[in-house]
Amino acid sequence: MRETIDRLYRDQARKVFATLVRLLGSFDLAEDALHDAFAAAAERWPQEGVPASPIAWLVSTGRFKAIDQIRRQARFTPWSDVAEFAENLPDETDLDTPAEVLEDDQLRLIATCCHPSLSEQARIALTLREVCGLTTEAIASGFLLAPATLAQRIVRAKAKIRAARIPYEVPGPDELPARLQSVSRVIYLVFNEGYCASSGQSAVRPDLSGEAIRLARMLVALQPHPEVQGLLALMLLHESRRAARTDVHGDLIPLEEQDRTRWDGALIEEGCALVQAALTGRGFGPYCLQAAIVAVHAEARDARDTDWAQIVGLYDALLRLEPTPVVALNRAVAVAMRDGPAAGLALMAPLLSHDALRNYHLAHAAQADLLRREGRPAEARIAYEAALALAQQAPEKRFLLKRLRDLQA
């Protein structure tokens, strides 16, 4: 029974939370109600059995516990906002919460967290915390911030939503495009945390990447913009390689060494079709170009068959749209694969002094790999050690240590 409840919490807690936010009108009340509902399940289900509709049971139980708590507080503070709020909450007893309602509630929640009145960093932090349930520490790691700083940012974002009375609703057709970029960025960050966790013992968190793909499908259904299609394609094509990315011990396998027969052909087919459709539409952008790059990898039966010239051309286009150090770094790696490691290292050298890459472990790892290929082991060792000092994910640390041992051998 404990395993059943733990699985439900892991897989469904944020859906329950989103619906509780709609019913209670408060992030904090919904969070308390969520934990109260699962505590009640742990106490009652072993004796009563799992309900026929466990998600609906959790929603209803959490809601009623929150209402009871509010009304207890109202008895002591009859003229407070709490008392007025309690009177405006009807006692619904319907346990039937259809799946589509839960999905709508999650989309409402992410749209609220991505409201234009919030800063972009606040939108991302709030969505990762409230929609996806990431810990403050994990989000802070992704932002390279102190957890206390990130926590204050989330608290301020919630206060602004409350003070500005930002509506908890799915934006209409006229409003949704304005939020598209922010919502897309949030969804992709959630996917990245699931596909390549920023820290911890596991390289992947399939629950998060699966959730991001589901949210992207919902967004495509609501707003079939080329960039949204490109975003979904990008995630599907990355996801197609999940089974081949790690070995039985959870250690990372580089792209060029992966068993491509383990790649998911159905996801590749769907992702490539989305890329083609997106690139023929008007308004495609960085997500479409990134998806096109991953599609070129996906279509190569062997790493040696990869069309690096096409990939460099796509990075050229991407760099014009998104001239960031990370894109320039990835382009340098592609040039190295096309023209040789010396060409890539020449492009990479000035990039590594940039503030955005100095503490980015993958930049040092990429430099180390090119130095290794170039036959410069002493310099490669220094770069690998720099990457190792910055890496926070256990499988990545093991991979970098293995590369160091290989150099010593």
- Cβ distance 195 to 209 under 8 Å? yes
Of the pLDDT bands very low, low, confident and very high (cuts 50, 70, 90), residue 90 is very low
Residue 99: predicted pLDDT:
58
Residue 230: predicted pLDDT:
96
Compute the half-sphere exposure of residue 5: CA atoms within 13 Å on the CB side of its CA: 18
- Cβ distance 23 to 33 under 8 Å? no
Indicate the length of the chain as a whole number.
409
Q: What is the pLDDT of residues 369-405, one digit of tens each?
A: 999 999 999 999 999 999 999 988 888 899 999 999 9
pLDDT of 91 higher than 50:
no
Q: What is the pLDDT of residues 187-228, one digit of tens each?
A: 888 788 777 654 444 445 666 788 789 889 988 887 788 999
- Cβ distance 57 to 160 under 8 Å? no
Residue 127: predicted pLDDT:
83
Residue 134: predicted pLDDT:
79
- Cβ distance 248 to 302 under 8 Å? no
Residue 181: predicted pLDDT:
79
Residue 196: predicted pLDDT:
67
Q: What is the pLDDT of residues 332-376, one digit of tens each?
A: 999 999 999 999 999 999 999 888 898 899 999 999 999 999 999
Q: What is the pLDDT of residues 223-258, one digit of tens each?
A: 788 999 999 999 999 999 999 998 888 888 999 999
- Residue indicated by tokens 């694969």: 337
Of the pLDDT bands very low, low, confident and very high (cuts 50, 70, 90), residue 143 is low
Burial of 151 (0-12, 13-18, 19+ CB in 10 A): middle
- Cβ distance 36 to 63 under 8 Å? no
CA angle 54, 59, 61 (to 5 degrees): 90
pLDDT of 76 higher than 60:
no
Share of the chain above pLDDT 90, in %: 45
Of the pLDDT bands very low, low, confident and very high (cuts 50, 70, 90), residue 88 is low
User: Residue range 123-129: average pLDDT?
Assistant: 84
User: Residue range 20-33: average pLDDT?
Assistant: 89
Residue 38: predicted pLDDT:
94
- Cβ distance 192 to 164 under 8 Å? no
pLDDT of 87 higher than 60:
no
Share of the chain above pLDDT 70, in %: 88
pLDDT of 267 higher than 90:
yes
Alpha-helical runs (H) found in 246-360: 265-279, 286-299, 308-321, 325-339, 341-348, 355-358
Give, in order, the Cα–Cα distances in Å from 210 to each of 56, 88, 122, 207, 236.
22, 36, 23, 5, 10
What is residue 256's three-state secondary structure?
Answer: helix
Residue 102: predicted pLDDT:
63
Residue 79: predicted pLDDT:
44
pLDDT of 301 higher than 70:
yes
Single-letter amino acid code for the residue at 407: L
User: Residue range 98-117: average pLDDT?
Assistant: 76
User: Residue range 37-53: average pLDDT?
Assistant: 91
| Paired strand residues for 252 | 246
Residue 203: predicted pLDDT:
44
Residue 287: predicted pLDDT:
95
Q: Between helices 308-321 and 286-299, what is the axis angle to 10°?
A: 170
Closest CA relative to residue 352, chosen from 390, 321, 316: 390
In this predicted model, which residue has the larger pLDDT, 264 or 26? 264
Of the pLDDT bands very low, low, confident and very high (cuts 50, 70, 90), residue 70 is confident
